[in-house]
Amino acid sequence: MTSDVILANATLVLPDETLRGQVVLRGGRISAVDTGAQVPPGAVDCGGDYVAPGLVELHTDNLERHISPRPKVDWPHKAAIMAHDGELASVGITTVFDAVRVGSITSNAKAGYEKYARAMASEILAIRETGLLKISHHLHLRAEICSETLAAELDEFGPDDRIGIVSLMDHTPGQRQFRDEGKFMDYLRGKHALSEEQTRAYFDDLRALQARVGTLHEEAAVAAARRFGATLASHDDTTSGQVGVSASYGIRLAEFPTTHEAAQACQAAGIRVIMGAPNLVRGGSHSGNVAAADLAQAGLLDILSSDYVPSSLLMAAVQLGTMWDDMARGLATVTTTPARGVGLTDRGAVVPGLRADVIRFALDDGLPVLRGVWAQGRQVA
């Protein structure tokens, strides 16, 4: 048995408003939410700090950074998973969908697309069962359309793996995220030490591969998501035509649309738009695509993802709250909306009966400073 945790005299971030009050955490759930500035005996006096739901992260490459901290370095996986888990807890993320690439290129070792998804997913699931992880972990399969082995790798997964998201990703040069082939070339040459000649030859191979298997792989990924009961997501939609195809597949989430046109088409089709928190914090896309702030100001941004900087998630949500003059709306992009977007109804809001996943933070010149993180009522940071 654990004693109650009462966070009192706090600025509560509720689904549609912020107000002064207290929240009671009991037995892993939110037991009560009350208004007022009173501080009962034994309660934590938050002194007006914000108390909000724990953050829900749908797409992060952070685990890859821990698994491979340097080129050609394969860090012990259990240690890497636990370090990743601890880092996310430390920045207020209490639910994460760990992104694992499915689909490899085995004919070209320099491509850097070796097969690893099934083994990595099994390791994540195994350590999740031990109870050693601080936060809630789910699986997000990134289906690489432009690959050689996607269909076979998807067949290695089933409903028992409880896959949460399957996203359709196509990194063929000259389209979507890499419409600017020069930026893709710079990325590959920096990451894999390829010459310009090697990179151009690789681009030709990718385009030929996509032409040969692209449609088959999209169909396989869509069928797999249905088999798993997973939420379908698109990635880097650029045109309204691409969004139309996404809608026909039953896609519900659009990760990082690259243009205003695509984001507008997503909204019209009822597809929630996910943008990168680093894009918002930095003031623009590192790939030269549409700025998250522009979509936010146009009312075309629904969800934020930390992508490659875990600490950016809360920073960007607060930034949105300031931009919109509505902190509840800003925080919803990293709590309620992503949770509901993947069918999680037991978390993402400071509401009695939901999981006691909450964070406490103050603002220092607009920068959020975390002062506590609770996952199912247990303080993890």
66's CB contacts (< 8 A; 6+ apart) are 75, 80, 81, 83, 84, 87
Question: Angle at the Cα of 314 (from 3 to 5), degrees rounded to 5?
Answer: 10
- pLDDT(180) > 60: no
Residue type, 214: G
Mean per-residue pLDDT, 246-262: 96
- Judged by phi (left if over 0) then psi (alpha if -120 to 50, else beta), residue 48 lies in left
Considering the chain, what is the average pLDDT of its residues?
91
Lowest mean pLDDT among 34-43, 70-79, 169-178, 304-313: 169-178
Map out the domains of the chain with their CATH numbers. Answer: 1-54+349-381 (2.30.40.10), 55-346 (3.20.20.140)
Question: Angle at the Cα of 46 (from 18 to 326), degrees rounded to 5?
Answer: 20
What are the pLDDT digits (tens) for 314-345?
Answer: 999 999 999 999 999 999 999 999 999 999 99
pLDDT score recorded for residue 75? 96
- pLDDT(198) > 70: no
pLDDT score recorded for residue 71? 79
CA distance 256 to 149: 25
Cβ contact 53:344 at 8 Å: no
Task: Give the C-alpha distances (Å, rounded to integers) separating 346 from 17, 30, 289, 310, 340.
Answer: 20, 11, 35, 23, 9
Q: Which residue has the higher pLDDT, 183 or 328?
A: 328
Lowest mean pLDDT among 40-54, 112-126, 191-205, 261-275: 191-205
- pLDDT(287) > 90: no
Mean per-residue pLDDT, 195-221: 79
pLDDT band for position 1 (50/70/90)? Answer: very low
- pLDDT(192) > 70: no
Q: Which residue has the higher pLDDT, 166 or 188?
A: 166
pLDDT score recorded for residue 194? 59
